[in-house]
Amino acid sequence: ANIDPAMICAKATIVRRIKNKPYTASVMVIGQETGHGEEFRNGGSCKPEGNAKALRYMKVAETEGIPIHFYIFTPGSYPVEEYPGAAQQIARNIYAMAKLRVPMISMISEGGSGGAEAIGLSDYRLMTTHGYYSVISPEGAAAIEGRIREGSKVPKELIEVCADRLRLTAFDNLKNGTIDRIIYEPQLGARRDDFNFFATLRSEMLRATDQVVLSTRSFRAFRTWEIGRKKSKSEQQELQVEVPWDLNRDEIRRLLAQRSRKYLAMAKHGYTGGPSASADLLNLLKVSAEKIYYTLRYDILKNHKKQVHKVIKDVSGEGSVMLKRVTEPLTAAIQFLSRKKTKKPAARITYTPVASQESGRVVDPLELTDTYTSPLANEDRTVTCPNAEKYGCKDLWIPDLYGEFAGVCETCGHHFPLEHQWYLKNIFDANSIRFFNNEIISGNPLGYTGFSERLEISKKKTGKKSGNMTFHAQINGIQIIVAMLYSDFRNGTVGSAEGEKFVQACQLAKRKKRPLLAYIHTTGGIRIQEGTLGVIQMPKCTMAVREYIDAGGLYIVVYDNNSYAGPVASFLGCSPYQFAIRSSRVGFAGPRVIRETTGVDIPPDYHSARNALKRGHIQG
């Protein structure tokens, strides 16, 4: 019995002969299986249980201190929402792999989006010449670009055009920096009995493992040169160099630091502009001064302050107990002699009252401000609530619905969609929002035909340069850093610019020791027109989140409207605190993708926030 036969996990022993002496080493092998029994294995599309199995054996390898070899053969993950959930399990895998304390090597033959990323975050990435690595299959991209109706056949010519535009070959990925090396296959592709190819594959995997391990060593110059130099045809496939694969504490620290630098530096050429005043010496001095100030304030002084308070509490607690034992008889006698009727205490309000500076009256912080009214309220008509048949909701007059009711049905509590400007004006304290990194601009790094014009339309429509707004803000006086994906700019899809801005927000929140809020007004997933430069934002942003949380940061995600695909399966789904607006939808794949992939129809509320809460995907 196997919980998911599409994912294969095994501990293997590799024997190498070096200078006529045999040397053995253990590795953990994890990969997808697409071969015989294709229906039984879903063609290599792993279910959440399969990805959970892979994570379990990653932890075993970490415990034993042995390298991990990943073999990626998948068109994508199997789209189901039942626990542990496709998106949530991929997010758990990527989050764990970001700081796994062993060398990891991956070989990509068929790398489809989130399914590949579930076991794809590694220290060294190899790819075969006949393989592909992409954000979406050419067929899926063709269906979206051609706006093909569900059930209709996608034209073959359109599939070929999209395959070319996505830049999904090994040579394209090497050029874009998403892989490290190419393994050449026979002209017609490798077959099961092609022993020469598999000998080459073995040699490349061992060479990559040696290279990663040596990169962590302090004494390595000659061995690194020997492994890195180009081999001639007359040389043996496996180099005659012994490299022990076990790492000590300092080497593990270097391994994790190199992995972090590798992924945070990816897709830098996928956008234009840069962090505000990034090349300015004054800005660099400011960042250095902030690091010193906040380290001194929070890491040193605050810790000492906590320790002093703890000692004072302990001493006062002991003293109060002793004093109580001495004075208790006298206090009881006085209370007995001076008994009076006790008055009923006044009812307490559940919030801290704040007096308005202008009028002096007490203001309820839950009361919405009247500084902004949604443009949707300008229509003079009524609208029917989607739950009218179930709950008997009355028709709602639009000026009341989007004005006084803030888009919420007064009968059932259904939330009607509102524009992102409404949330900016009503969630955060007035005049507390200060945007940063506005100069990072979304681009068209792959030269995708027609996409530059579509980007310009979005920029003119929104007045923004990317689909991710990052800003400083306050909520009830608490200073926070916010990253907001919003629907008006390419449906909130994430590309190189959006990912970089998110990483910069994580690093700023980490430096300033402030909470980080990811408010997801809408996200349609990874931007397919950026290919693997888009999908690489999944491990890149998750790496930044992991480092922020490990530094003690508070990371909160709030979903609104529709949130699907890559972001949910990575840097959003890994948050320990995820919440959703009542009528929002959260999931891995949309209804159409699920129907076409699994052949199973789903109920209308399959992706509802209430069902996500029942499955344990969100906390509230």
Half-sphere exposure of 196 (CA within 13 A, CB side): 4
Q: What is the pLDDT of residue 456?
A: 94
CB 572 within 8 A of CB 494: no
pLDDT of 51-81, one tens digit each?
A: 999 999 999 999 999 999 999 999 888 888 9
pLDDT of 92-115, one tens digit each?
A: 999 999 999 999 999 999 888 888
Across residues 560-564, what is the average pLDDT? 92
SS (H, E, C) 34-53: CCCCHHHHHHHCCCHHHHHH
CB 566 within 8 A of CB 114: yes
Dihedral pair phi/psi, residue 150, rounded to 5°: -60, 130
pLDDT exceeds cutoff 80 at 418 = yes
What is the rounded CA–CA span in Å between residue 215 and residue 247? 11
Q: State the burial class of residue 207 (Cβ atoms within 10 Å of its Cβ: 0-12, 13-18, 19+).
A: buried
* Percentage of the chain lying above the pLDDT 70 cut: 89
User: Over the chain, what is the mean pLDDT?
Assistant: 86
What is the rounded CA–CA span in Å between residue 491 and residue 87? 19
For residue 368, name the pLDDT band (cuts at 50, 70, 90): low
* Beta pairing partners, 345: none
Helix (H, G, I), strand (E, B) or coil at 28: strand
As given in the structure block, the two tokens for residue 453 are 């014009």
What is the rounded CA–CA span in Å between residue 568 and residue 586? 8
Residue of 436, 391, 429 whose CA lies nearest to 410? 391
3-state helix vs strand vs coil in the chain, percent to 5: 40, 15, 40
Q: What is the pLDDT of residue 233?
A: 42
* Fold match, 7-265 / 420-614: yes
pLDDT exceeds cutoff 90 at 334 = no
Report the range of poorest mean pLDDT among 144-153, 234-243, 294-303: 234-243
SS (H, E, C) 63-92: HHCCCEEEEEEECCCCCCCCCCCHHHHHHH
Residue of 498, 527, 524 whose CA lies nearest to 586? 524
* Beta pairing partners, 362: 355
Residue of 198, 320, 248, 339 whose CA lies nearest to 65? 248
pLDDT of 180-239, one tens digit each?
A: 999 999 988 888 889 999 999 999 999 999 999 999 987 766 556 666 665 544 444 555
* Beta pairing partners, 608: 585
Specify the DSSP class assigned to residue 300.
I
DSSP states of 363-429 as a string? E-TTSPPSS---GGGG--SEE--TTHHHH-PPPEEHHHHTTTTTTB-TTT-PBPP--HHHHHHHTSP
What is the rounded CA–CA span in Å between residue 162 and residue 148? 14
Amino acid at 93: N
Report the range of poorest mean pLDDT among 144-153, 271-280, 440-449: 271-280
SS (H, E, C) 107-166: EEEEEEHHHHHCCCCCCEEEEEEEEEEECCCHHHHHHHHCCCCCCCCCCHHHHHHHHHHC
pLDDT exceeds cutoff 50 at 1 = no
pLDDT exceeds cutoff 80 at 357 = no
Across residues 250-258, what is the average pLDDT? 96
Helix (H, G, I), strand (E, B) or coil at 289: helix
As given in the structure block, the two tokens for residue 126 are 């190899």
pLDDT exceeds cutoff 80 at 528 = yes
What is the rounded CA–CA span in Å between residue 143 and residue 593? 11
Q: What is the pLDDT of residue 365?
A: 52
Residues in the chain: 620
Who's near 31: CB < 8 A, 6+ residues apart? 7, 8, 69, 70, 71, 72, 73, 119
Q: What is the pLDDT of residue 370?
A: 60
Q: What is the pLDDT of residue 232?
A: 45
For residue 356, name the pLDDT band (cuts at 50, 70, 90): low
Give how far Cα 429 sits from Cα of 154, 315, 475, 523, Å. 49, 40, 5, 25
What is the rounded CA–CA span in Å between residue 490 and residue 527? 8
Q: What is the pLDDT of residue 317?
A: 78
Helix (H, G, I), strand (E, B) or coil at 483: strand
Task: Report the Cα 11 to chain-centroid distance in Å.
Answer: 29
* Percentage of the chain lying above the pLDDT 90 cut: 57
Spell out a b/e string for 91-124, using b for 16 or more CB atoms within 10 Å of the CB, else e. Answer: bbbbbbbbbbebbbbbbbbbbbbbbbbbbbbbbb
pLDDT exceeds cutoff 50 at 596 = yes
CB 211 within 8 A of CB 227: yes
Assigned CATH for 420-614: 3.90.226.10
Who's near 418: CB < 8 A, 6+ residues apart? 374, 376, 402, 406, 407
What is the rounded CA–CA span in Å between residue 202 and residue 205? 5
Across residues 361-380, what is the average pLDDT? 69
Which tops the pLDDT comparison, 86 or 371?
Answer: 86
Q: State the burial class of residue 135 (Cβ atoms within 10 Å of its Cβ: 0-12, 13-18, 19+).
A: buried
pLDDT of 335-348, one tens digit each?
A: 777 766 656 555 55
Q: What is the pLDDT of residue 474?
A: 95
Across residues 439-450, what is the average pLDDT? 92
CATH number of 7-265, picked from 3.10.20.740, 3.30.230.10, 3.90.226.10, 3.40.50.720: 3.90.226.10
Is the Cα torsion angle 542, 543, 545, 549 positive or negative in sign?
positive
As given in the structure block, the two tokens for residue 385 are 């609530």
pLDDT exceeds cutoff 80 at 278 = no
Across residues 260-278, what is the average pLDDT? 84
Q: What is the pLDDT of residue 314?
A: 79
pLDDT exceeds cutoff 80 at 585 = yes
Across residues 246-257, what is the average pLDDT? 95
Report the range of poorest mean pLDDT among 37-41, 257-261, 365-369, 610-614: 365-369
Neighbours of 449 (CB within 10 A): 13
Report the range of poorest mean pLDDT among 212-221, 298-307, 519-528: 298-307
pLDDT exceeds cutoff 60 at 355 = no
What is the rounded CA–CA span in Å between residue 423 and residue 584? 15
Amino acid at 435: F
Q: What is the pLDDT of residue 235?
A: 46
Q: At what angle do helices 86-97 and 48-64 cross, to 10 degrees?
A: 20
pLDDT of 21-38, one tens digit each?
A: 888 999 999 999 887 655
As given in the structure block, the two tokens for residue 586 are 């959260």
Q: Are strands 354-355 and 362-363 parallel, antiparallel or unpaired?
A: antiparallel
The domain ranges of the chain are 7-265, 375-417, 420-614
